[in-house]
Amino acid sequence: MKLDEFGLIRNLTSRVPTTGRHVVVGPTDDAAVLSIEPGEQVLVSTDTMVGGAHFLPETMAPFDIGYKAVAASISDIAAMGGEPRQVLVALGIPSDLEPVFLEALYDGVCDICSYFDCAVVGGDVVRTDGPLFVNTTVLGATSRPPLLRSGAKPGDVVFVTGQIGSSGAGLDFLLHPKLLIDPADGAVLKERHQRPKPQVTAGQILSLEGASSCDDISDGLASELNEIASASGVRLRIETARIPVHVAARNLGRLQGKDPLDYAWYGGEDYQLVGTASPFAFARILARAESMQIQVTQIGRVMQGDGVVAEFPDGTLDVITAKGYNHFPG
């Protein structure tokens, strides 16, 4: 690194929006000072991405790393039904990393922050002898009851937004570029892995129309469904034929002789939302989502009991365990 710590911070913060309607003091002091509107509650969440575990040179360009780190954090605010507002970015920087790498990473931060009208109000830089890591904290707000994992009730519909499995399939393709694939599918899958779109508008529709629970898909559908089932004390019964697996992921799976459903269950990093709603609330959610061209698909029902059970097209049932992405597998 050529710049000293303070020069580096100045250089990076000059590349991103640092002010906003709720920012009183931005990244210039010991702490940021933020305001919220009367009747709002603050939402805050943090996530870390680290070289090797979350990205490799062949899977993510520097821009993608900055973009996706912030996207993953904003996705947690989306899952609560809130509005993301401010972001803090802490970097662990290997000493041989070129400044242009960090500038490109910050261009990715800028891209997604600008899209969601978020300000970067702080962060940290440290040197590390290990791989690059990026910790992102996002602050948001909501004036509605936040969407929790614990509200699913027997009789509710289980739903998912968008199409899933495409990020995991994209990773598979990026790690094995010689896999047979249609070039158009390859381009879509790469994009879905590198630049996921947090479902902020969908989350706000879900909270406005009274969804009973919600979670974002970071570790995989199997993992997130199990989180909702266990937090709510219910069983989720999923009809596998209804799961909206992205067509490019289906195609890649078929060409590899793999079950494309596995990309949806266990691939993770789709950053779509999965949740539950009473049949009445679900009808309202569907109507409002459709009017905004947002796909919401019923994939199952909430029952009494525990765990997640999949029903296959031939009528057979199987328990789906939470074996998605796990940093510390047992």
Ligand X SMILES: Cc1ncc(C[n+]2csc(CCOP(=O)(O)O)c2C)c(N)n1
| Bind-site residues for ATP | 106, 123-124, 149, 218
The amino acid present at 161, given as its one-letter code, is T
- Supply 103's token pair: 């500038």
Q: Which residues ranging from 217 to 276 are in contact with ligand ATP (CB under 6 A)? A: 218-219
Q: Which residues ranging from 261 to 290 are in contact with ligand X (CB under 6 A)? A: 268-269
Using only C-alpha atoms, the chain has a radius of gyration, in whole angstroms, of 20
CB of 55 or CB of 106, closer to ligand X:
55
For 211, 234, 304, the CA distances from 197, given in Å and listed in that order, are: 21, 29, 33
Binding-site residues for Mg(2+): 30, 45-47, 76, 124, 216, 219
The single residue among 47, 64, 156, 185 that binds ligand ATP, judged by CB under 6 A, is 47
Q: Which residues ranging from 52 to 71 are in contact with ligand X (CB under 6 A)? A: 53-56, 59
Place of tokens 């698909």: 297
Long-range contacts of residues 183-188, Cβ cutoff 8 Å, at least 24 apart: 184/248, 185/247, 185/248, 185/251, 185/252, 186/248, 188/246, 188/248
Q: Which residues ranging from 85 to 104 are in contact with ligand ATP (CB under 6 A)? A: none
Is there a contact between 149 and 143 (Cβ–Cβ < 8 Å)?
no
The stretch near Mg ion (CB under 5 A) out of 74-82, 204-212, 226-234, 310-318 is 74-82
- Residue 137 is a binding residue for ligand ATP (CB under 6 A): no
- Residue 47 is a binding residue for Mg ion (CB under 5 A): yes
Handedness of CA 205, 322, 149, 55 (dihedral sign): negative
161 binds, among ligand X, ligand ATP, Mg ion, none (CB under 5 to 8 A by kind): none
- Name the site residues for ligand X (rule: CB under 6 A): 47, 53-56, 59, 72, 171, 218-219, 268-269, 325
